[in-house]
Amino acid sequence: MLVDVLLVRADVAGWTHRPLWLAGARITGSLDLAAARLIRPLQLEDCSIEQLVNLTDVEAMTIGLTGCHVPRIEASGLTVRGDLVLSAGFTATDGVDLHGGTVGGKLNCDGGNFSKPQGISLNCGSVVVKESMWTEKATFVGEMYLLDAHINGQLVCNGATFTNWGGDALTADGLVVEGAMFCAKGFAARGAVRLPIAHIGGGLYCSGGTFTNPQGRAIYAADLTVDGPMSCRDGFEAVGAVVLTGAHIGGGLKLHKAKLKNPGGTALDAAGLVVEGSMFCRDGFEAVGTVELTGARIGGNLNFCASTLVNSGSVGPNPQARSDGSAPPGALQLVGATIGGDLNCTGATLSDIQHGALNARRVVIRGDMICAGAFAATGEVNLVHARVSGDLDCSGASFTNACGTALDLVQAEIGKDVVMRPTQLVGDLDLRFARTGGWYDSATTWPSAKALHLHGFTYRAIDAIPQIDVKDRLDWIARDAEGFMPQPYAQLATVYRGEGNEGKARQVQIRGQWRRRLARSDKSNGSGRRWVSSLWSDWVVRPLRVVWSALLWITVGYGYRPWLILGPIGALYFFGWWWFDRAFGDRKLVQVKDLDTGVTFSGARYTADLLIPGASLGERARFAALPEIAWWTTGYTLAGWALAAMLIAGLTGVFRRL
């Protein structure tokens, strides 16, 4: 046809214009230029081409099909030294294939309409674009394909619509964009958006975009690399899982006011995510489903201020279920995460009674972790093995897990202070082997009895608001679910002593000794012999141990207050003074016959002679007790030896080590 001739031959008679420019034309035949080398730019505007356009392996200067209507374009291997324009109302009803092509300028699809239901509407697989690619306000019905494409400039998809229900709406595995990528301002994908192993040299901006793929993956971007920031804020909405496993974000990850919805599944799967800057999930951020950051590393702050995280565990099919059939645990998982700045969950709401609300096992945070303000968690908050360089602030928060552990800090390390002043704490608080700089709590929100675990918990300072006395703090320790454990008492006494509160430290140590001596034997062993031994210990030996412990407490304070024994000694001494004076008056104490009649009796000297072990004041030799009170003298002698032994043991600390 004439168009073919004009594009490939330079010797057409009467031809004076270099480009071939047609507007409003109707081409009824096919436009077959396969393997041709076009010597003139091709510019068609608002033309109607009724048959296939074949540009396979064509070499061209520029091609513009602005506003044109075609059934299909076959252009694999196409090489265009300038721009390729398929914009401003361009319509392809059976798809466009640009696979393996090269565009030396811009690939402009702004406002274009590409359709191939159940197929590929625009195939740009392995295409190379030397400048930018634009698809603003374009419409794609069927899969848009950018597998292994390379774009030296930007990829702009703002306002574009990609529709491929039940399949992949945008496939960009291995895509390389040297500049930024924009899927914002009205961008809509109905089907999965795939970006695994893609590399974005600038930022990835999805603010205001909508990604919808119910019961599947709304965004699949495993091992994505973004050298700049990634912004999915201010109206960003994803229905279906957002997968960023192993992704690397060179700047910050911003999810302000974003909404992620995948009920019963994973809303955000970012296991192994690396964010060099801060990650913000705040100011109205909502996630329905698990937010998982297993093994993630955040170089700045992780901020959940004023956000809502809910994982209701609703019944029904779960496409994100594990291979063993179990549901993903928790509303938020941070297992093994590393956070360089603050983790701020102020105002957040997490809910998952069965699986836990927040799973942050092995999280590493170089700043603060803030779960304050209106933060609310229904289900377990798990910070086992967490490492927080700054503070853990839970003031004003709400922790509820009536069927188990509300907050689990087993072996967690908090570099600075823990502010544990929630408005509500229902469930266990597990602090076993946790370490922190300071522990600041409030007695009004202490867990109930047997709901606190303190063994191995260490801290350098402790306080409460409002202020509490040492008796209240001892009640806090007594709530330990494991019963008596010596370490919590030793730890509290060490802190009090370090603060110069020696009196409080002694109170704690004495209470610890008392509880140790009253602790019952363990009957958990099913052995009959062990059970009988426990029964003997608890019902026969224990009453004697109680009496002995009470005596040690009264006399020497278990060695921490040995001066207390002066009270019993004084009481016995003065009582004996009175008693033996009375006994002498009643002639129950008589003078020895060969004694000088000038010697007078003194109850004070006589009592002292009995009470002081090894003393030889001579009073017992001068005055003899009649049989009816002889047992008094014997009792005083034995009491003197016992009190002396207790005094010596108290001064040497024997009872502290028992």
Question: Can you tell me which residue has the tokens 């406002």?
Answer: 111
Model pTM score? 0.70
Lookup: tokens for 399: 């922790």
Instruction: Tell me the C-alpha to C-alpha distance, in Å, between residue 406 and each of 91, 250, 427.
Output: 58, 35, 5
Rg (CA), the chain: 42
Residue pair 330/311 in contact by the 8 Å Cβ criterion:
yes
**CA torsion sign, 577 to 581 to 586 to 587?**
positive
Q: What is the model's pLDDT at position 319? A: 35
342 vs 325: CA distance, rounded Å? 35
Residue pair 481/450 in contact by the 8 Å Cβ criterion:
yes
Spell out, as residue ranges, where the chain has pLDDT lower than 70.
1-19, 309, 311-357, 517-562, 564, 593-598, 614, 649-658
Half-sphere exposure of 654 (CA within 13 A, CB side): 10
Q: If 0-12 CB within 10 Å is exposed, 13-18 middle and 19+ buried, where does residue 68 land?
A: buried
> Side chain identity at 184, as an amino acid letter?
A
| Three-state DSSP string of 391-437 | CEECCCCEEEEEEEEEEECCCCEEEEEEEECCCEEEEEEECCCCEEE
Cα angle for residues 531, 532, 536 (degrees, 5° grid)? 120
Where in the chain are the domains? 562-656
410 vs 600: CA distance, rounded Å? 73
Task: Work out whether strand 589-591 and strand 623-625 pair parallel, antiparallel, or are unpaired.
Answer: antiparallel
Identify which of 172, 63, 152, 164 has the alpha carbon closest to the alpha carbon of residue 109.
63
- Maximum CA pair distance of the chain? 166
Question: Can you tell me which residue has the tokens 């295409």?
Answer: 127
Lookup: tokens for 295: 């093994």
Q: Identify the H or E element spanning 531.
A: helix 528-536
Instruction: Tell me the C-alpha to C-alpha distance, in Å, between residue 578 and each of 569, 584, 642.
Output: 14, 10, 21
Q: What is the model's pLDDT at position 558? A: 62
Which phi and psi angles does 370 have, rounded to 5°?
Answer: -120, 115
Q: Identify the H or E element spanning 548.
A: helix 542-556
Q: What is the model's pLDDT at position 521? A: 46
Residues forming a β-bridge with 155: 133, 181
558 vs 513: CA distance, rounded Å? 7
Task: Work out whether strand 248-249 and strand 259-269 pair parallel, antiparallel, or are unpaired.
Answer: unpaired
Half-sphere exposure of 160 (CA within 13 A, CB side): 32
Sequential DSSP letters for 565-630: GHHHHHHHHHHHHHHHHHHHHTTSEEE-TTS-TT----HHHHHHHHHSTT---SHHHHEEE-HHHH
pLDDT in tens, 233-243: 989 999 999 99
Instruction: Tell me the C-alpha to C-alpha distance, in Å, between residue 256 and each of 195, 210, 310, 315, 549.
Output: 22, 14, 17, 29, 61
The mean predicted confidence, pLDDT, of the chain is 82
Running DSSP on this structure, what letter comes out for residue 540?
I
Q: What is the model's pLDDT at position 207? A: 95
Instruction: Tell me the C-alpha to C-alpha distance, in Å, between residue 458 and each of 56, 205, 410, 493.
Output: 73, 45, 11, 11
Contacts of 50 (CB under 8 A, 6+ apart): 26, 27, 28, 29, 71
Which phi and psi angles does 292 have, rounded to 5°?
Answer: -115, 125
